Every structure is written in C-alpha cells, then in structure tokens.
Amino acid sequence: MRTVALFGRPLRRRHSAAMHNAAFEAAGVDARYELREVDEAGLAEQVAEARRDRWMGFQITAPYKLLVMDLLDEIEPDARRIGAVNSVAAGPGGRLIGFNTDVLGFMAGVRKCLGGDVKGLSVVVAGSGGVGHAAVYGLATAGAGRLSVLDLDAALPRRLADDLGDAASIEALAFGDPVARDRLAEADLFVNATSVGMLSPGPVVDIDLLGPSAAVFDVVYIPAETELVRRARARGMRASNGDGMLVAQAAAAWCRWTGLPDPSETMRRAVAPLLAEDDPRP
C-alpha cells in the first residue's frame, strides 16, 4: 500500500483524510491518506521517511508551509511566489517536489461563486496572510482589474503588494481607511481571506458597505454559513463559502499523485457529513 499523509500541528479535522481515502477506494488505488501531527523536528523525520518508503507524496498545513520548503528538492514557481508549499509529490529516487494547490482551489471556488471569470473585475480582499497571498496571486494572474487588500494595519498588505507587485498593481489599505469604504462600495467581488467567522464571530466587514450587485466569497467553510455569507444572501447577493475551495485543493493534489481523472464529486460526497457535523448551528 502506498502512503500519503498530512503534516501539521494541531490536526483536529478529518476532512482531508475522508476525501482522499474515498477517492482512492472509488478508483481502486491501493493507498492510504493519514494524519500525522508532528513538531518541527518530527517534520524533518517524516520528510526523510517519505523519501525512503512507498510514498506518493504528502501535504502540509500550519505551521509548516514555509518551513518545509527547505527540506525539498524542488519548489514549483507558483509555490515560490506565494511563499508556501501545501503539497508535495514524491518522484523517482525519492525526489520531492513542492507545489501549492491554494490558488487553484481558491480560483475554482471564486469562479463558481461568480458564475464566470474575474477578468477586469474590481476586487477587495480582506486579509494578507498565507491565504490572502494565494488569493491575491490567483486574482492577479487571472486578470482581475483593481485589487485592494485590507488588513488591520496597512503595513501588512503593503508587504504583500511588494511581493506580488510584478503580477499586478495592488492597493494596500487598513480597514479604517476612508478609501477602504469607497473600494468596498465599488467592488464587484469581496473576498474574506481571514479566519473571521470561524475563529472569531461576526463578518469581517459590514455587508452594507458593499453594493447589492457584488459577489461575496468567504474562504471559511466551518460553519457552512458564516455571518458574512448569511448577511450577503439575505440581501440577495451571490455568496459562497470555502467548501468548494477545500474540495478543489484536495482534488488537484490527488490528480497530481495518481495521474487519474478528477475525483471532486466523490470527495464532495465524502466530506459532506463532516462539514454538516462541524456546523455549530442548531
């Protein structure tokens, strides 16, 4: 049996294992996806094991998406630009190649929310951390029009703008900046790339600051309907959470490891009970 694992700390959710193992079983692939919670020293040991044994690859979550890059043989260009690896393919001779499925998953979720492409659209992204980097990079390379990034301090999105400035012109703003209100009112798409709605309550911005024709995409997928998504839908706006992004990310890595067709439907059915179970609503 071949091995795939997710490394991180803490690992509290079974979503990735449920999706990948359902897809392996449906496709008749003799492989198993495992959750392996490790400390920093343990990560290096696990990567060494992946080189030696019958591994297809592995995935990495917080806090090791940057740290793992020094343990690999090759980093694909998109992952290097984003500054994070979340998936690794094991090749001949134990060669390990790092890649990132965050952008692909994010853009799949956004296009489904919009019912079309982002080219030329005015977009506001809340959050300039790892997910924000991936989101902005995806939007920039897909040809989004004006891109504004909000955070608690404008210095945070300014670093993102410096990192990705050759991909697009990115406006860095603090939430309290009066210009941020203007950008929200003019936005065709608003993206929440923070944990607000999952780790802390409430919408990250007042939904009434957005125009009624704007679309809202929230990367949070637990709960199934965040306060941001609920309020947007109550106004009749197009709004989606991050469950489509979750499935698309997993499917992209699975296809890379196996060379087989997209297992998204199988993965979606497998993870649905877990998403419902994690929903805190009565």
Per-residue model confidence as pLDDT tens digits over 12-63: 889 999 999 999 999 999 999 999 999 999 999 999 999 988 899 999 998 9
Two structure tokens written together for 9: 């700390």
Q: What amino acid positions are annotated as catalytic residues?
A: 65
Question: Can you tell me whether residue 215 is helix, strand or coil?
Answer: strand
Of 75, 100, 125, the residue that ends a domain is 100
Q: Is 46 annotated as a binding residue?
A: no
Could you tell me if 148 and 215 lie in one domain?
A: yes
Over 90: is that where the pLDDT of 115 sits? yes
Residue 113 domain-assigned (yes or no): yes
Predicted local confidence at residue 282, as pLDDT: 41
What's the CA gap between 6 and 64, in Å, rounded? Answer: 11
Q: Is the dihedral of CA 212, 215, 220, 226 positive or negative?
A: positive
Q: Is 128 annotated as a binding residue?
A: yes
Residue 9: give the domain boundaries. Answer: 2-100
Q: Is 64 annotated as a binding residue?
A: no
More confident residue, 276 or 120: 120
Could you tell me if 93 and 108 lie in one domain?
A: no
Could you tell me if 225 and 135 lie in one domain?
A: yes
Could you tell me if 82 and 189 lie in one domain?
A: no
* Number of compact structural domains in the chain: 2
Over 60: is that where the pLDDT of 178 sits? yes
Q: pLDDT confidence of 279, banded at 50, 70, 90?
A: low
Of 63, 85, 100, the residue that ends a domain is 100
Could you tell me if 89 and 133 lie in one domain?
A: no
Could you tell me if 132 and 234 lie in one domain?
A: yes
Residue 235 domain-assigned (yes or no): yes
pTM: 0.92
Residue 279 domain-assigned (yes or no): no
Q: Is 130 annotated as a binding residue?
A: yes
Q: Is 61 annotated as a binding residue?
A: yes
Report the DSSP pairing between strands 170-174 and 147-151. Answer: parallel
Q: Is 244 annotated as a binding residue?
A: no
- Residue 185: give its domain's CATH number: 3.40.50.720
Predicted local confidence at residue 88, as pLDDT: 98
Asked, as a colleague might, if the bond just before 280 is cis with ω within 30 of 0, I would say: no
What's the CA gap between 104 and 1, in Å, rounded? Answer: 28
Could you tell me if 198 and 120 lie in one domain?
A: yes
The H-assigned helical ranges of 164-242 are 178-186, 227-234
